[in-house]
């Protein structure tokens, strides 16, 4: 697979008129993705599946940018990354299912970027020939729930004390799902 020119991707206009680009993660994003991860609010880092403040994790994500069962998108402004979204096919008997991760820089929230990035990830699922999408959300993460609810996802599971954050506290986890085809 080859890296596509960033200029090929159509810009998205946010609610306040700012323009961002949603495009696949590429090799030149290494430093910008780390800076994005390091600037995330401490509270978000507690729950992230991949620790985006860790250079080794960033290296793994960049190396996986062409992985067959994985799609990674970023939202960028110039050389700065302000959002990250990923779609990963599950293994084994759930190989027709993919799970979603989504995160936006604190200073860029409430302008529609999370919704635009989530929609781009859902669109990428067709390319991966996925039948079902799931997203795991901590019960108190109202923004994440609102976005996927709006995109037509429904709650399929609620697991008490199921998610353990990096400080060892337990949280109720909600699994939301949507059929793709």
Ligand X SMILES: CC(C)(COP(=O)(O)OP(=O)(O)OC[C@H]1O[C@@H](n2cnc3c(N)ncnc32)[C@H](O)[C@@H]1OP(=O)(O)O)[C@@H](O)C(=O)NCCC(=O)NCCS
Between residue 129 and residue 158, which ones bind ligand X under the rule CB under 6 A? Answer: 135, 137, 141-144, 146-147
Which residue in the block uniquely carries the two structure tokens 């999408």? 133
- Which one of 66-74, 105-113, 125-133, 155-163 is the stretch in contact with ligand X (CB under 6 A)? 105-113
Q: Taking the complex as a whole, how short is the minimal distance between the CB of residue 77 and ligand X, in angstroms?
A: 13
**Least spacing, CB of residue 146 vs ligand X, in Å:** 4
Q: By C-beta, is 12 or 141 nearer to ligand X?
A: 141
Tokens 């604190």 belong to 106
**Ranges of H-type helices in the chain:** 30-39, 42-45, 55-63, 113-127, 142-150
Cα separation, 171 vs 161, in Å, equals 5
What minimum distance in Å lies between the beta carbon of 75 and ligand X? 9
111 binds ligand X (CB under 6 A): yes
Q: Do 152 and 96 meet the contact criterion of CB atoms below 8 Å apart?
A: no
């Amino acid at each position: 697979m080859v890296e596509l020119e960033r200029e090929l991707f159509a810009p998205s206009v946010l609610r306040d008129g700012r323009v961002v680009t949603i495009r696949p993660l590429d090799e030149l994003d290494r430093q910008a993705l780390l800076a994005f991860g390091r600037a995330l609010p401490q509270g978000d880092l507690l729950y992230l599946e991949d620790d985006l403040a860790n250079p080794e994790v960033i290296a793994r994500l960049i190396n996986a940018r062409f992985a067959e069962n994985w799609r990674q998108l970023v939202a960028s402004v110039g050389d700065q990354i302000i959002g990250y979204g990923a779609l990963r096919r599950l293994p084994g008997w759930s190989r027709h299912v993919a799970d979603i991760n989504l995160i936006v820089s604190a200073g860029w929230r409430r302008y529609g970027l999370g919704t635009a990035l989530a929609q781009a990830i859902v669109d990428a699922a067709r390319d991966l020939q996925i039948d079902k999408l799931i997203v795991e959300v901590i019960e108190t993460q109202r923004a994440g729930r609102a976005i996927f609810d709006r995109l037509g996802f429904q709650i399929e599971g609620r697991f008490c004390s199921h998610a353990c954050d990096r400080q060892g506290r337990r949280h109720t986890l909600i699994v939301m799902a949507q059929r793709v085809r």
